[in-house]
Amino acid sequence: MEKRKSNSALRTSLIAVLTAVVVVFTILVKIPTPTKGYLNLCDLAICFIAFTFSPLTALIAGGLGTAIADIISGYPQWAPISFVVHGLEGLVVALIVKRSSQDISNLVKVSTIKVILAMVACVIIVAGGYFVLSAIFMSLGFAAAAAGIPGNIGQSGIGVIAGYALSRAVIKAYPPVQGLLNY
Amino acid sequence: MSSATIFFEGKGFLYRVDARAKVIALLIACVFVFLPIYFSGILTLSILLVSLSFYSVGIKNTTNILKAILPMIILVIIFSPFYERSGTPLLIYKDNLILTYEGLIHSLTLSLRFFSITFACSLLFLTTKMNAFILALQSFFVPYKTCLTISLVFRTIPTIFDAFNQISDSHSLRRSNQLKKKRLKNLFPTLTSALVVSLKTIPSLAMALESRGYGLKTKRTNYHMLSSYKYFIFQTIAIIFLFMVLLLTFKKF
Protein backbone atom coordinates (compact mmCIF):
# COMPACT_ATOMS: atom_id res chain seq x y z
CA MET A 1 0.00 0.00 0.00
CA GLU A 2 1.28 3.44 -0.87
CA LYS A 3 2.38 5.77 1.91
CA ARG A 4 0.12 8.60 3.05
CA LYS A 5 1.26 11.71 4.87
CA SER A 6 0.39 11.14 8.52
CA ASN A 7 -2.94 12.68 9.58
CA SER A 8 -3.08 14.81 6.43
CA ALA A 9 -6.78 14.03 5.96
CA LEU A 10 -7.61 14.87 9.57
CA ARG A 11 -5.78 18.21 9.37
CA THR A 12 -7.49 19.13 6.09
CA SER A 13 -10.91 18.19 7.53
CA LEU A 14 -10.26 20.18 10.71
CA ILE A 15 -9.23 23.29 8.77
CA ALA A 16 -12.19 22.97 6.38
CA VAL A 17 -14.77 22.58 9.16
CA LEU A 18 -13.29 25.40 11.27
CA THR A 19 -13.16 27.67 8.22
CA ALA A 20 -16.83 26.91 7.58
CA VAL A 21 -17.55 27.71 11.25
CA VAL A 22 -15.89 31.13 10.81
CA VAL A 23 -17.98 31.74 7.67
CA VAL A 24 -21.25 30.78 9.41
CA PHE A 25 -20.48 32.89 12.51
CA THR A 26 -19.60 35.84 10.25
CA ILE A 27 -22.76 35.77 8.15
CA LEU A 28 -25.14 34.57 10.87
CA VAL A 29 -25.34 37.59 13.16
CA LYS A 30 -25.06 40.92 11.39
CA ILE A 31 -25.27 44.29 13.14
CA PRO A 32 -25.39 47.07 10.49
CA THR A 33 -22.95 50.00 10.75
CA PRO A 34 -23.40 53.57 9.39
CA THR A 35 -21.00 52.81 6.52
CA LYS A 36 -23.30 49.99 5.31
CA GLY A 37 -20.78 47.45 6.55
CA TYR A 38 -21.68 45.15 9.41
CA LEU A 39 -20.39 43.95 12.76
CA ASN A 40 -20.43 40.20 13.29
CA LEU A 41 -19.20 37.24 15.33
CA CYS A 42 -16.14 36.46 13.17
CA ASP A 43 -13.68 37.55 15.87
CA LEU A 44 -15.45 35.30 18.36
CA ALA A 45 -15.01 32.30 16.05
CA ILE A 46 -11.39 33.16 15.22
CA CYS A 47 -10.48 33.64 18.89
CA PHE A 48 -12.24 30.37 19.78
CA ILE A 49 -10.01 28.61 17.23
CA ALA A 50 -6.90 30.47 18.43
CA PHE A 51 -7.60 29.52 22.07
CA THR A 52 -8.37 25.89 21.20
CA PHE A 53 -6.17 24.84 18.25
CA SER A 54 -2.72 25.51 16.80
CA PRO A 55 -1.53 28.92 15.44
CA LEU A 56 -1.37 27.59 11.87
CA THR A 57 -4.98 26.38 12.03
CA ALA A 58 -6.07 29.76 13.43
CA LEU A 59 -4.17 31.57 10.67
CA ILE A 60 -5.73 29.58 7.82
CA ALA A 61 -9.26 29.23 9.23
CA GLY A 62 -9.40 32.91 10.31
CA GLY A 63 -8.08 34.31 7.05
CA LEU A 64 -9.85 32.00 4.64
CA GLY A 65 -13.13 31.97 6.60
CA THR A 66 -13.58 35.73 6.68
CA ALA A 67 -12.49 36.09 3.05
CA ILE A 68 -15.08 33.52 1.94
CA ALA A 69 -17.73 35.19 4.14
CA ASP A 70 -17.02 38.51 2.39
CA ILE A 71 -17.40 36.83 -1.01
CA ILE A 72 -20.69 35.17 -0.03
CA SER A 73 -22.09 38.30 1.61
CA GLY A 74 -21.58 40.38 -1.52
CA TYR A 75 -18.51 42.32 -0.33
CA PRO A 76 -15.82 40.48 -2.36
CA GLN A 77 -13.63 43.59 -2.59
CA TRP A 78 -12.87 43.26 1.14
CA ALA A 79 -11.82 39.58 0.90
CA PRO A 80 -8.03 40.09 0.48
CA ILE A 81 -7.94 42.59 3.37
CA SER A 82 -10.02 40.31 5.61
CA PHE A 83 -7.76 37.39 4.72
CA VAL A 84 -4.64 39.26 5.83
CA VAL A 85 -6.11 41.00 8.91
CA HIS A 86 -8.08 38.10 10.39
CA GLY A 87 -5.44 35.52 9.45
CA LEU A 88 -2.87 37.59 11.33
CA GLU A 89 -5.33 38.05 14.19
CA GLY A 90 -5.76 34.26 14.56
CA LEU A 91 -2.03 33.62 14.32
CA VAL A 92 -1.00 36.26 16.88
CA VAL A 93 -3.74 35.43 19.41
CA ALA A 94 -2.90 31.70 19.13
CA LEU A 95 0.82 32.37 19.58
CA ILE A 96 0.15 34.51 22.67
CA VAL A 97 -2.14 31.97 24.38
CA LYS A 98 -0.27 28.88 23.12
CA ARG A 99 0.13 26.31 25.88
CA SER A 100 3.45 24.55 26.41
CA SER A 101 3.43 20.74 26.37
CA GLN A 102 3.59 20.76 30.20
CA ASP A 103 0.33 22.70 30.41
CA ILE A 104 -1.58 20.13 28.39
CA SER A 105 -3.03 18.60 31.56
CA ASN A 106 -4.64 21.97 32.32
CA LEU A 107 -6.17 22.64 28.95
CA VAL A 108 -9.08 24.82 29.93
CA LYS A 109 -7.32 27.69 31.71
CA VAL A 110 -5.23 30.45 30.16
CA SER A 111 -3.65 33.07 32.44
CA THR A 112 -5.41 36.45 32.72
CA ILE A 113 -2.29 38.30 31.53
CA LYS A 114 -2.21 36.22 28.36
CA VAL A 115 -5.89 36.94 27.71
CA ILE A 116 -5.37 40.68 28.20
CA LEU A 117 -2.30 40.62 25.96
CA ALA A 118 -4.27 38.70 23.34
CA MET A 119 -7.09 41.25 23.54
CA VAL A 120 -4.74 44.22 23.08
CA ALA A 121 -2.97 42.52 20.16
CA CYS A 122 -6.29 41.56 18.58
CA VAL A 123 -7.71 45.09 18.81
CA ILE A 124 -4.53 46.62 17.37
CA ILE A 125 -4.36 44.14 14.49
CA VAL A 126 -8.04 44.31 13.52
CA ALA A 127 -8.71 48.03 13.98
CA GLY A 128 -5.25 49.11 12.75
CA GLY A 129 -5.13 46.58 9.94
CA TYR A 130 -8.50 47.52 8.47
CA PHE A 131 -7.73 51.23 8.88
CA VAL A 132 -4.38 51.12 7.08
CA LEU A 133 -5.17 48.51 4.43
CA SER A 134 -8.59 49.90 3.48
CA ALA A 135 -7.17 53.42 3.27
CA ILE A 136 -4.35 52.32 0.98
CA PHE A 137 -5.56 49.32 -1.03
CA MET A 138 -9.29 50.06 -1.14
CA SER A 139 -8.40 53.66 -1.89
CA LEU A 140 -10.81 55.00 0.74
CA GLY A 141 -8.40 57.57 2.15
CA PHE A 142 -7.51 57.71 5.86
CA ALA A 143 -10.44 59.97 6.80
CA ALA A 144 -13.14 57.63 5.51
CA ALA A 145 -11.28 54.52 6.70
CA ALA A 146 -11.24 55.94 10.25
CA ALA A 147 -15.05 55.57 10.39
CA GLY A 148 -14.65 51.82 10.88
CA ILE A 149 -12.24 52.00 13.85
CA PRO A 150 -14.71 52.16 16.80
CA GLY A 151 -16.79 49.24 15.52
CA ASN A 152 -13.69 47.11 14.90
CA ILE A 153 -12.31 47.87 18.38
CA GLY A 154 -15.57 46.79 20.04
CA GLN A 155 -16.00 43.71 17.84
CA SER A 156 -12.45 42.40 18.30
CA GLY A 157 -12.24 43.22 22.02
CA ILE A 158 -15.48 41.41 22.82
CA GLY A 159 -14.45 38.63 20.40
CA VAL A 160 -11.37 37.71 22.46
CA ILE A 161 -13.25 37.48 25.78
CA ALA A 162 -16.21 35.59 24.28
CA GLY A 163 -13.87 33.37 22.22
CA TYR A 164 -11.99 32.36 25.37
CA ALA A 165 -15.24 31.61 27.22
CA LEU A 166 -16.50 29.60 24.24
CA SER A 167 -13.25 27.65 24.06
CA ARG A 168 -13.55 26.69 27.74
CA ALA A 169 -17.19 25.71 27.30
CA VAL A 170 -16.52 23.57 24.22
CA ILE A 171 -13.54 21.73 25.77
CA LYS A 172 -15.71 20.94 28.82
CA ALA A 173 -18.74 19.93 26.75
CA TYR A 174 -16.83 17.84 24.22
CA PRO A 175 -13.63 16.38 25.76
CA PRO A 176 -12.59 14.43 22.60
CA VAL A 177 -11.62 17.81 21.11
CA GLN A 178 -8.44 17.49 23.19
CA GLY A 179 -7.21 14.97 20.63
CA LEU A 180 -7.24 17.73 18.01
CA LEU A 181 -5.52 20.46 20.03
CA ASN A 182 -2.13 20.05 18.36
CA TYR A 183 -3.57 20.36 14.84
CA MET B 1 -29.33 28.08 2.75
CA SER B 2 -28.87 25.58 -0.06
CA SER B 3 -26.00 27.32 -1.82
CA ALA B 4 -23.15 29.27 -0.27
CA THR B 5 -22.20 31.46 -3.22
CA ILE B 6 -23.43 34.68 -4.84
CA PHE B 7 -23.40 33.13 -8.33
CA PHE B 8 -26.30 34.45 -10.40
CA GLU B 9 -27.61 32.15 -13.15
CA GLY B 10 -27.54 33.96 -16.49
CA LYS B 11 -26.50 33.90 -20.13
CA GLY B 12 -24.84 37.30 -20.55
CA PHE B 13 -21.47 38.07 -22.11
CA LEU B 14 -19.35 37.46 -19.00
CA TYR B 15 -20.75 33.93 -18.56
CA ARG B 16 -19.07 32.98 -21.84
CA VAL B 17 -15.65 34.22 -20.71
CA ASP B 18 -13.28 31.59 -19.31
CA ALA B 19 -12.93 31.66 -15.47
CA ARG B 20 -9.12 31.88 -15.75
CA ALA B 21 -9.37 34.88 -18.07
CA LYS B 22 -11.79 36.58 -15.63
CA VAL B 23 -9.39 36.07 -12.72
CA ILE B 24 -6.58 37.61 -14.79
CA ALA B 25 -8.85 40.51 -15.80
CA LEU B 26 -9.71 41.17 -12.15
CA LEU B 27 -6.04 41.25 -11.16
CA ILE B 28 -5.14 43.58 -14.05
CA ALA B 29 -8.10 45.88 -13.22
CA CYS B 30 -7.01 46.11 -9.56
CA VAL B 31 -3.45 47.04 -10.61
CA PHE B 32 -4.65 49.40 -13.36
CA VAL B 33 -6.61 51.70 -11.01
CA PHE B 34 -3.45 52.34 -8.96
CA LEU B 35 -1.26 53.22 -11.95
CA PRO B 36 -0.43 56.89 -12.65
CA ILE B 37 -3.30 57.58 -15.08
CA TYR B 38 -5.64 60.51 -15.57
CA PHE B 39 -8.99 60.65 -13.80
CA SER B 40 -10.69 60.09 -17.16
CA GLY B 41 -8.95 56.69 -17.38
CA ILE B 42 -10.51 55.39 -14.16
CA LEU B 43 -13.85 56.94 -15.19
CA THR B 44 -13.69 55.06 -18.52
CA LEU B 45 -12.94 51.77 -16.73
CA SER B 46 -15.84 52.37 -14.32
CA ILE B 47 -18.27 53.05 -17.17
CA LEU B 48 -17.00 49.94 -18.94
CA LEU B 49 -17.55 47.81 -15.83
CA VAL B 50 -21.07 49.17 -15.21
CA SER B 51 -21.99 48.54 -18.87
CA LEU B 52 -20.64 44.99 -18.60
CA SER B 53 -22.61 44.51 -15.40
CA PHE B 54 -25.88 45.75 -16.99
CA TYR B 55 -25.34 43.52 -20.00
CA SER B 56 -24.24 40.42 -18.05
CA VAL B 57 -26.11 40.31 -14.73
CA GLY B 58 -28.93 42.79 -15.29
CA ILE B 59 -30.13 46.03 -13.72
CA LYS B 60 -31.20 44.53 -10.38
CA ASN B 61 -27.81 43.02 -9.57
CA THR B 62 -26.02 46.16 -10.75
CA THR B 63 -28.11 48.39 -8.49
CA ASN B 64 -27.56 45.94 -5.61
CA ILE B 65 -23.78 46.34 -5.97
CA LEU B 66 -24.22 50.12 -6.17
CA LYS B 67 -26.44 50.21 -3.08
CA ALA B 68 -23.89 48.21 -1.07
CA ILE B 69 -21.02 50.63 -1.75
CA LEU B 70 -22.87 53.96 -1.94
CA PRO B 71 -22.50 54.97 1.76
CA MET B 72 -18.75 54.29 1.64
CA ILE B 73 -18.39 56.36 -1.54
CA ILE B 74 -20.35 59.22 0.03
CA LEU B 75 -17.99 59.13 3.04
CA VAL B 76 -14.95 59.28 0.76
CA ILE B 77 -16.41 62.18 -1.26
CA ILE B 78 -17.26 64.13 1.91
CA PHE B 79 -14.00 63.68 3.82
CA SER B 80 -11.22 63.30 1.25
CA PRO B 81 -11.21 66.84 -0.30
CA PHE B 82 -10.17 68.38 3.05
CA TYR B 83 -6.82 66.59 2.87
CA GLU B 84 -5.86 68.12 -0.49
CA ARG B 85 -5.39 71.84 0.30
CA SER B 86 -3.21 72.94 -2.62
CA GLY B 87 -4.37 73.92 -6.11
CA THR B 88 -7.05 76.04 -7.74
CA PRO B 89 -9.70 77.19 -5.21
CA LEU B 90 -13.26 76.12 -6.01
CA LEU B 91 -15.09 76.95 -2.76
CA ILE B 92 -14.14 79.58 -0.18
CA TYR B 93 -16.22 80.36 2.91
CA LYS B 94 -15.32 83.47 5.02
CA ASP B 95 -11.67 83.48 3.85
CA ASN B 96 -11.38 79.75 4.57
CA LEU B 97 -10.51 77.47 1.67
CA ILE B 98 -13.07 74.66 1.63
CA LEU B 99 -12.48 72.90 -1.68
CA THR B 100 -9.88 72.97 -4.43
CA TYR B 101 -10.13 71.55 -7.94
CA GLU B 102 -7.28 69.13 -7.18
CA GLY B 103 -9.03 68.06 -3.96
CA LEU B 104 -12.23 67.34 -5.85
CA ILE B 105 -10.42 65.28 -8.51
CA HIS B 106 -8.45 63.42 -5.81
CA SER B 107 -11.66 62.58 -3.98
CA LEU B 108 -13.43 61.42 -7.15
CA THR B 109 -10.39 59.31 -8.11
CA LEU B 110 -10.43 57.56 -4.72
CA SER B 111 -14.17 56.89 -5.05
CA LEU B 112 -13.89 55.52 -8.57
CA ARG B 113 -10.98 53.27 -7.63
CA PHE B 114 -13.10 51.74 -4.85
CA PHE B 115 -16.06 51.57 -7.25
CA SER B 116 -14.02 49.79 -9.96
CA ILE B 117 -12.44 47.25 -7.57
CA THR B 118 -15.88 46.45 -6.11
CA PHE B 119 -17.53 46.01 -9.50
CA ALA B 120 -14.68 43.89 -10.87
CA CYS B 121 -14.75 41.56 -7.83
CA SER B 122 -18.55 41.32 -7.75
CA LEU B 123 -18.80 40.57 -11.47
CA LEU B 124 -16.27 37.75 -11.17
CA PHE B 125 -18.22 35.97 -8.43
CA LEU B 126 -21.68 36.75 -9.85
CA THR B 127 -20.79 35.18 -13.19
CA THR B 128 -18.45 32.35 -12.20
CA LYS B 129 -19.51 29.08 -10.55
CA MET B 130 -17.43 28.21 -7.52
CA ASN B 131 -16.14 24.93 -9.01
CA ALA B 132 -14.95 26.83 -12.12
CA PHE B 133 -13.25 29.41 -9.88
CA ILE B 134 -11.46 26.66 -7.93
CA LEU B 135 -10.38 24.93 -11.16
CA ALA B 136 -9.06 28.30 -12.34
CA LEU B 137 -7.04 28.60 -9.13
CA GLN B 138 -5.70 25.08 -9.68
CA SER B 139 -4.63 25.98 -13.21
CA PHE B 140 -2.67 28.91 -11.71
CA PHE B 141 -0.68 26.36 -9.65
CA VAL B 142 -2.55 26.90 -6.38
CA PRO B 143 -1.87 23.57 -4.53
CA TYR B 144 -4.49 20.82 -4.77
CA LYS B 145 -4.72 20.70 -0.96
CA THR B 146 -5.72 24.39 -0.80
CA CYS B 147 -8.32 24.00 -3.56
CA LEU B 148 -9.77 20.90 -1.89
CA THR B 149 -10.01 22.76 1.44
CA ILE B 150 -11.91 25.63 -0.24
CA SER B 151 -14.28 23.11 -1.90
CA LEU B 152 -14.86 21.36 1.44
CA VAL B 153 -15.61 24.71 3.10
CA PHE B 154 -18.31 25.50 0.53
CA ARG B 155 -19.73 22.00 0.98
CA THR B 156 -19.70 22.26 4.81
CA ILE B 157 -21.19 25.77 5.21
CA PRO B 158 -24.85 24.77 4.51
CA THR B 159 -24.56 21.77 6.88
CA ILE B 160 -23.25 23.89 9.76
CA PHE B 161 -25.75 26.64 8.96
CA ASP B 162 -28.64 24.16 9.14
CA ALA B 163 -27.28 22.63 12.36
CA PHE B 164 -27.06 26.09 13.91
CA ASN B 165 -30.64 26.93 12.91
CA GLN B 166 -31.98 23.64 14.30
CA ILE B 167 -30.14 24.11 17.61
CA SER B 168 -31.24 27.73 17.79
CA ASP B 169 -34.90 26.74 17.20
CA SER B 170 -34.82 23.99 19.81
CA HIS B 171 -33.21 26.32 22.36
CA SER B 172 -35.77 29.06 21.69
CA LEU B 173 -38.67 26.60 22.17
CA ARG B 174 -37.53 26.12 25.75
CA ARG B 175 -37.61 29.83 26.55
CA SER B 176 -40.32 31.74 24.71
CA ASN B 177 -41.33 35.38 25.36
CA GLN B 178 -37.88 36.49 26.45
CA LEU B 179 -36.46 39.99 26.29
CA LYS B 180 -34.12 40.76 23.39
CA LYS B 181 -31.25 41.41 25.82
CA LYS B 182 -31.65 38.00 27.40
CA ARG B 183 -32.01 36.35 24.00
CA LEU B 184 -28.55 37.71 23.10
CA LYS B 185 -27.14 36.22 26.30
CA ASN B 186 -28.73 32.90 25.43
CA LEU B 187 -26.88 32.88 22.10
CA PHE B 188 -23.86 31.47 23.97
CA PRO B 189 -25.28 27.96 24.66
CA THR B 190 -26.51 27.81 21.06
CA LEU B 191 -23.03 28.67 19.75
CA THR B 192 -21.44 26.08 22.06
CA SER B 193 -23.82 23.35 20.88
CA ALA B 194 -23.34 24.33 17.21
CA LEU B 195 -19.56 24.16 17.64
CA VAL B 196 -19.72 20.73 19.28
CA VAL B 197 -21.91 19.43 16.43
CA SER B 198 -19.46 20.90 13.88
CA LEU B 199 -16.40 19.41 15.60
CA LYS B 200 -18.06 15.99 15.69
CA THR B 201 -18.16 15.96 11.86
CA ILE B 202 -14.36 16.21 11.57
CA PRO B 203 -13.42 12.51 12.07
CA SER B 204 -16.05 11.25 9.60
CA LEU B 205 -14.99 13.85 7.03
CA ALA B 206 -11.36 12.75 7.46
CA MET B 207 -12.36 9.10 7.00
CA ALA B 208 -14.31 9.99 3.85
CA LEU B 209 -11.25 11.76 2.46
CA GLU B 210 -8.98 8.84 3.23
CA SER B 211 -11.37 6.37 1.63
CA ARG B 212 -11.21 8.53 -1.53
CA GLY B 213 -7.43 8.15 -1.58
CA TYR B 214 -6.57 11.55 -0.14
CA GLY B 215 -2.92 11.77 0.91
CA LEU B 216 -1.64 9.30 -1.69
CA LYS B 217 1.32 10.45 -3.73
CA THR B 218 -0.13 9.40 -7.07
CA LYS B 219 -1.35 12.10 -9.45
CA ARG B 220 -5.04 12.99 -9.00
CA THR B 221 -7.59 13.25 -11.77
CA ASN B 222 -10.43 15.77 -11.98
CA TYR B 223 -14.11 15.07 -12.52
CA HIS B 224 -14.82 18.55 -13.89
CA MET B 225 -12.61 20.35 -16.41
CA LEU B 226 -12.47 23.92 -17.69
CA SER B 227 -12.84 24.57 -21.42
CA SER B 228 -9.77 24.21 -23.62
CA TYR B 229 -6.78 26.55 -23.34
CA LYS B 230 -7.54 27.95 -26.81
CA TYR B 231 -10.39 30.18 -25.56
CA PHE B 232 -8.52 31.12 -22.40
CA ILE B 233 -5.45 32.30 -24.32
CA PHE B 234 -7.50 34.20 -26.90
CA GLN B 235 -9.61 35.93 -24.22
CA THR B 236 -6.58 36.75 -22.07
CA ILE B 237 -4.80 38.35 -25.03
CA ALA B 238 -7.96 40.42 -25.74
CA ILE B 239 -8.15 41.55 -22.09
CA ILE B 240 -4.45 42.51 -21.97
CA PHE B 241 -4.84 44.40 -25.27
CA LEU B 242 -7.85 46.32 -23.90
CA PHE B 243 -5.98 47.38 -20.76
CA MET B 244 -2.89 48.32 -22.80
CA VAL B 245 -5.05 50.59 -24.96
CA LEU B 246 -6.57 52.18 -21.84
CA LEU B 247 -3.13 52.65 -20.29
CA LEU B 248 -1.57 54.20 -23.40
CA THR B 249 -4.57 56.52 -23.84
CA PHE B 250 -4.76 57.78 -20.27
CA LYS B 251 -1.18 57.47 -18.95
CA LYS B 252 0.28 60.37 -16.99
CA PHE B 253 3.93 59.34 -17.43
Q: Which of A111-125, B81-95, B176-190 has the lowest mean pLDDT?
A: B176-190
With both helix axes pointing from N to C terminus, report the angle between A112-123 and A42-52 in degrees, rounded to the nearest 10. 140
Determine whether the interchain pair A16/B198 forms a contact, defined as Cβ–Cβ distance below 8 Å.
no
Does B117 share its domain with B233? Answer: yes
Please indicate, yes or no, if residue B138 is contained in any of the structural domains. Answer: no
Mean pLDDT over B188-212 rounds to: 90
**B122 and B63 in one domain?**
yes
pLDDT of res. B62: 93
Query: Residues B19, B53: one domain?
Result: yes
Residue A13 has phi, psi (to 5 degrees) of -65, -45
Average pLDDT over residues A7-31: 89
* Nearest CB to B198 within list A12, A21, A141: A21
**Judgement on whether residues B191 and B81 belong to the same structural domain of the protein:** no
- Supply the pTM of this predicted model: 0.83
Residue A160 contacts residue A43 (beta carbons within 8 Å): yes
B111 located within any domain: yes
In the Cβ-directed half-sphere of B141, how many Cα atoms lie within 13 Å?
A: 0
Q: Is the pLDDT of residue B72 over 70?
A: yes
Domains belonging to chain A, first-starting first, are 10-180 (1.10.1760.20)
The reply to whether residue A138 touches residue B191, judged by beta carbons under 8 angstroms, is: no
Biggest CA–CA distance in chain B, Å, is 77
Residue B136 belongs to a domain: no
Does residue B134 fall inside a structural domain?
A: no
- Chain B residues with CB under 8 Å of A60 CB are 149
Most confident option among A1-10, A85-94, A104-113, B226-235: A85-94
Residue B252 domain-assigned (yes or no): yes
Q: Is B235 on the interface with A (CB under 8 A)?
A: no
Q: Is residue B22 domain-shared with residue B123, that is, in the same domain?
A: yes
Q: Say yes or no: B195 and B246 in one domain.
A: no
Q: Do B118 and B147 sit in the same domain of this protein?
A: no
Q: Indicate whether B96 and B200 sit together in one domain.
A: no
Check A74 against B34: CB less than 8 A apart. no
Provide the CA B117 distance to its chain's centre, in angstroms.
9
Q: Which ipTM was obtained for this model?
A: 0.87
B189 shares a domain with B78: no
- Are B218 and B230 found together in one domain? no
B199 with A75: Cβ contact below 8 A: no
Strand partners, B92: B97
Note down the domain range covering B12: 1-129+225-253
Q: Is residue B108 part of a domain?
A: yes
Residues B230 and B218 placed together within one structural domain of the fold: no
Q: Domain tally for chain B?
A: 2
B135, part of any domain: no
Q: Which residues of chain B lie closer than 8 angstroms to A64, CB-CB?
A: 149-150, 153
Residues B248 and B188 reside in one and the same domain: no
